[in-house]
C-alpha cells in the first residue's frame, strides 16, 4: 500500500523538480515511487501509508546511532532552545573542534562548514592556496560533492583531464581536474608526468560511493609518495568514512595518512554540518590567519 506516498509524490512534483531535493531519492534506478517518510525510530522507518521498513540507509550514513537516539535528541532540543544561529562564535564550536583534534594524530585545527560539499570544496581551495598550484587529481567512482570542478568524468585517454559531467559546468572549470582510475598506480604516476601543476590528490580512502572499494595499501602509499615528491597535498575525503570506518575513520585503520581531512555526514548526526582539518601550518593559510578565503 503506497497510495498516500504516490499522491504525495504527485503533489511534490508540482513544486519541486522531480519531486525530490536530491536526484537519488526519486527512485529512478530502482523503479516505483519513493515512499514518503513519516518518522524514524531506531533501526526502523515508517512511511505515510503506515508501512514499516528496516532502514539500511540511515540517511545515507550519518545516523550511526539510528533514528531519534535519545541522547542526541535531548542535546538538540536543549541547544535549540537557546536559538538556532547567531553569526557569532560559540563555545560549543571549540568543544567540538577539541574532540576532533584530540582524536586524530595528524590534525591540529578544524574549520566547520555546512555540508560535505563545502568541506571538500574548501579543502581543495586550501590545497591550491598552500601549494600555489592549480590542477587536482580525483578518481573515477569517488564522489566528493556537487561543486563545479568535481563534477567531471574521465575523457577518452587513460590519465586525462576531465570533461564536465553535468550541463552548467563550464569546461574551463573542469580542465584543472585530472581523473584517474582508483587503485591504478601506473595511471596515477602518468598524471604526475603530464602535469607539473598538481596541487592535491583528493580520494575516498575507503571508496563508499561505488559500492565499497577499499584502496590497496600500496596505492595509498604511492599517493603519499607522489604528493611528497611533487609538493602536492593529499586530501582524505572522510565525509562518509569519518567516525564510521572506525572512531578515527579510515585514517584510524590505514597506514597512510592524509594532509587535509574532510568530514560531513556522521559529524552532524543528521544535521547539516561538515568540516575540514589539517596541521596548524596548513590551516594557518586560511582566512583570517592567512589569505585563503573560506
Ligand X SMILES: *Cc1c(COP(=O)(O)O)cnc(C)c1O
Applying CB under 6 A, does 117 fall inside the site for ligand X? yes
Applying CB under 6 A, does 115 fall inside the site for ligand X? yes
46 catalytic? Reply is no
CB of 55 vs ligand X, minimal distance in Å? 17
x-or-dash string of contact with ligand X, 217-256, rule CB under 6 A: --------------------x-xx----------------
x-or-dash string of contact with ligand X, 24-63, rule CB under 6 A: ----------------------------------------
Q: Which of 129, 204, 248, 254 binds ligand X (CB under 6 A)?
A: 204
Phi, psi of 185 (to 5 degrees): -70, -40
Applying CB under 6 A, does 144 fall inside the site for ligand X? yes
Half-sphere exposure of 108 (CA within 13 A, CB side): 6
CB of 193 vs ligand X, minimal distance in Å? 27
52: nearest Cα among 37, 73, 31, 68:
37
- Yes or no: say if 245 and 206 are a contact pair by the CB < 8 Å rule: yes
Rg (CA), the chain: 20
CA atoms of 3 and 230, how far apart (whole Å): 59
Applying CB under 6 A, does 264 fall inside the site for ligand X? yes
When the beta carbons of 8 and 137 are compared against ligand X, the nearer one is 137
177-196 positions binding ligand X, by CB under 6 A: none
Q: Which stretch binds ligand X (CB under 6 A): 141-149, 186-194, 216-224, 251-259?
A: 141-149
CA atoms of 222 and 203, how far apart (whole Å): 13
Q: Point out the catalytic residue in the list 143, 182, 248, 259.
A: 143
Q: Point out the catalytic residue in the list 47, 135, 237, 259.
A: 237
- Which residues of the chain form contacts with ligand X (CB under 6 A)? 115-117, 120, 143-145, 204, 209, 237, 239-240, 264, 274
Q: Which residues are catalytic?
A: 143, 237, 265
Amino acid at each position: 500500500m503506497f497510495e498516500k506516498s504516490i499522491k504525495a509524490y504527485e503533489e511534490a512534483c508540482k513544486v519541486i523538480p522531480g519531486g525530490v531535493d536530491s536526484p537519488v531519492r526519486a527512485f529512478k534506478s530502482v523503479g516505483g515511487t519513493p515512499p514518503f517518510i513519516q518518522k524514524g525510530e531506531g533501526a526502523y522507518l515508517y512511511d505515510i501509508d503506515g508501512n514499516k521498513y528496516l532502514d539500511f540507509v540511515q540517511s545515507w550514513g550519518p545516523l550511526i546511532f539510528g533514528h531519534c537516539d535519545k541522547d542526541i535528541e535531548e542535546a538538540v532540543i536543549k541547544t535549540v532552545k537557546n536559538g538556532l544561529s547567531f553569526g557569532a562564535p560559540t563555545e560549543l564550536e571549540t568543544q567540538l573542534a577539541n574532540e576532533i583534534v584530540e582524536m586524530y594524530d595528524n590534525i591540529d585545527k578544524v574549520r566547520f562548514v555546512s555540508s560535505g560539499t563545502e568541506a571538500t570544496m574548501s579543502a581543495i581551495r586550501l590545497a591550491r592556496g598552500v601549494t600555489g598550484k592549480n590542477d587536482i587529481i580525483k578518481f573515477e567512482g569517488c564522489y566528493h560533492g556537487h561543486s563545479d570542478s568535481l563534477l567531471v568524468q574521465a575523457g577518452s585517454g587513460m590519465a586525462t583531464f576531465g570533461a564536465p559531467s553535468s550541463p552548467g559546468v563550464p569546461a574551463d572549470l573542469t580542465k584543472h581536474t585530472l581523473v584517474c582510475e582508483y587503485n591504478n598506480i601506473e595511471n596515477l604516476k602518468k598524471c604526475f608526468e603530464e602535469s607539473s601543476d598538481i596541487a592535491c590528490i583528493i580520494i575516498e580512502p575507503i571508496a563508499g560511493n561505488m559500492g565499497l572499494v577499499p584502496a590497496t595499501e600500496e596505492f595509498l602509499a604511492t599517493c603519499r609518495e607522489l604528493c611528497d615528491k611533487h609538493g602536492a597535498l593529499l586530501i582524505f575525503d572522510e565525509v562518509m568514512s569519518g567516525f564510521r570506518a572506525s572512531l578515527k575513520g579510515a585514517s584510524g585503520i590505514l597506514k597512510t595518512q592524509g594532509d587535509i581531512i574532510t568530514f560531513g555526514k556522521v559529524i552532524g548526526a543528521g544535521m547539516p554540518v561538515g568540516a575540514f582539518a589539517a596541521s596548524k601550518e596548513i590551516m594557518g593559510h586560511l582566512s583570517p590567519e592567512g589569505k585563503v578565503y573560506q
